[in-house]
Chain A
Amino acid sequence: MAYDKFTTLTSSAVPLPIENVDTDQIIPARFLKATKREAFGDNLFRDWRYNSDDSPKKDFVLNNPIYAGKILVGGNNFGSGSSREHAAWAIYDYGFRCVVSSFFADIFKNNAINMGILPVQVSPEFLIQIFSAIELDPNTKIEVSLPNQMITIQATGASESFEMNGYKKNNLINGFDDIDYLQAMKSEISAFAAERAV
């Protein structure tokens, strides 16, 4: 899946201070029946966001107009459970381009990067600082610089560096993806396969 380039993003953020947000909450299985990648954002956090009669749940953060932005800030162990890439598609389609947490589940992290969503892992202390800054001012801006691998709370100037391997970083900054890379080494793969011949 080719995607948008990611360099620096400055945006207000939506806080979701819940731990172990699993991919069944991000998008329940009954909404995985499409054969195209369209409109998954409508069902993002479906059962936390809507009542069974489809009316919005007033106390859920996505239904609170004071919170908006391209950054989603989640609690520890975000994205555990199912490998459904639909979870990343729903987050992207809703409009988020970056997810911040103190810990990510492996498959979700890969899926997010493959969609062009930047997963930013921060320390538990910095995560609390972000939640506090948003609580103080829902419009507070968070700056995420991929080239510098740095996340900054603009109001306080507090910042922290985050990890990202050089290969993936280069991909995201330039909008390259793994499939392009693999296609360019097909003959090497063919030779490898011939040698293995399992």
Chain B
Amino acid sequence: MSQMPSTLFDKVWDAHVVRKIEDGPDVFFIDRHFIHEVTSPVAFLGLENRGLSVMFPEHTFATADHNTPTINQHLPVADPLSANQLKALENNSAKYGISHWGLGNPKNGIVHVVGPENGITLPGMTIVCGDSHTSTHGAFGAIAFGIGTSEVEMVLSSQCIMQPKPLKMRINVNGSLGKAVTPKDVTLYIISKLTTSGATGYFVEYAGDVFEKMSMEGRMTVCNMSIEMGARGGMIAPDETTFAYINGRELAPKGAAWDKALAYWKTLSTDAGAKFDVEFNFDASDIEPMITYGTNPGMGMGISKSIPKGIDLKGGTATYEKSLAYMGFEEKEQMIGKKVDFVFIGSCTNGRIEDFRAFASIIKGRKKAEHVTAWVVPGSHIVEAQIKEEGILDILTEAGFLLRQPGCSACLAMNDDKVPAGKYAVSTSNRNFEGRQGPGSRTMLASPLVAAAAAVTGYVTDPRELM
């Protein structure tokens, strides 16, 4: 090994290169592979057509999440196409000896929630899944990113994919976060500065005292959204917070294996003087609770501000005007006071226990606004159990909210949790694309605190006024 200072990303990437192809990608070894019902069936079909098998079934983990109902999960799934996909995942997992946490399994939940909470996700690993929010797992100092179905087939059949090494970006956020400013606001702020394609071609390391002080769940929220600025993934160096989170989780290393792993994990940080291709610095005190006003996650703003003028932004005004027209908003308008029809708290971005604690902190002692339909969807059964144990369910019930069962739900609206055309939703999920939450739906992305404030007032409201 050379003595050149190295980045966290380089250390993990270089340890997983099986072969370098000249004028081509690296053959890249994958430690952990998550699969779900939507992007895996065609990969298994591909294996069958080629007569191939799964090389390391013990490194692949299956969970059903994208296409599952969030009520009455004990009943047969009503939509025959959804039921068929769930059955295919179950059958394929059984056939190849892959562990499968299907509907009804106590470990079932959103893939990016259950991986970390069961100790499957560990520092220094390479982790992929046929889902772009696989970047979530980077919170542990892993290289984690989303792949397509052809690549799922590659991982199943050879535990490798072909990847050109991305460029390196570091984003430093230092200082103190203000009142009601959550990890979701930090990431929406960064994306609003970099735009929806500003990190395409890069792998991001998040650094600075804001991330050092952040909980693991907050770090997952930030890394989760890396893809929304085009980055393949984002990562944060593992530290005592990381080790404390992992220690004792069911599938995490134990005993001597833990000691050995821990010694390795402690080497996983960027050396002083290591070079990045590009670096950004932000001041935590500039960030306020955020909300999006347009149709990509880069179109976000501080909740007390006004919608910017298209002419002041980079990029074409035609696309900007199309986006505002879709939302039914106009330049220079305030977001505060806009009527909200739906509120969704959940998803791989904000579906963990800390998110529900934050939501409950605002709704406690208040009532859901009558005209608001709210979907409160835990990220997993483990989160659901925590909500009950901590008394959050009582707060929800008292305020007129119904707790649903785990799944991706209204984040992508593959199941019945769809926002109707023209209606406005404040959502803690990750994408506000046209029709993302149902054909014609209009999404405003925000934190659990902003979602809670909207749910009890029925309008876009600054959560600081309710705290």
Contacts and interface: CB of A to CB of B under 8 A. Distances in A.
Given A25-B434, A77-B197, A114-B148, A165 B46 contact: no
A36 B39 contact: no
Contacts of B316: 19, 75-76
A192 B29 contact: yes
A186 B18 contact: no
A29 interface: yes
Contacts of B56: 193
Contacts of B158: 179, 182-183, 185-186, 189
**How many A residues touch the partner, as a band?**
35 or more
Interface in B22-37: 22-25, 27, 29, 31
A22 B436 CA distance: 10
A115 B19 CA distance: 23
Contacts of B151: 110, 114, 178
Given A19-B319, A107-B147, A178-B150, A33 B25 contact: no
Contacts of A186: 55, 158
B334 to A, nearest CB: 25
A71 B174 CA distance: 46
Given A20-B296, A83-B146, A178-B150, A52 B440 contact: yes
Contacts of B196: 20, 77, 80
Given A1-B150, A77-B197, A83-B39, A185 B19 contact: yes
A35 interface: yes
B125 A198 contact: yes
A29 B413 contact: yes
Contacts of B435: 24-25, 28, 47
A37 B40 CA distance: 11
Contacts of A105: 197, 200, 230
A59 interface: no
A85 B66 CA distance: 15
A182 B157 contact: yes
A83 B18 contact: no
A155 interface: no
A197 B45 CA distance: 29
A30 B436 CA distance: 10
A85 B39 contact: yes
Contact of B25 (A20, A165, A198): A165
Contacts of A165: 23-25, 164
Interface of B: 18-19, 21-25, 27, 29, 31, 38-39, 41-42, 45-46, 50, 52, 55-56, 66-67, 79, 81-82, 84-85, 88, 125, 130-132, 134, 146-151, 153-154, 157-162, 164, 166, 196-197, 200-201, 227, 230, 232, 296, 315-316, 319, 322, 412-414, 421, 431, 433-436, 439-440
Interface of A: 1, 18-20, 22, 24-25, 28-30, 32-37, 47, 52, 75-77, 80-86, 88, 103-107, 110-111, 114-115, 165-168, 177-179, 181-183, 185-186, 188-189, 192-193, 196, 198
The 8 closest A-B pairs by CB, nearest first: A167-B24, A166-B23, A85-B148, A83-B146, A33-B81, A114-B150, A111-B148, A35-B41
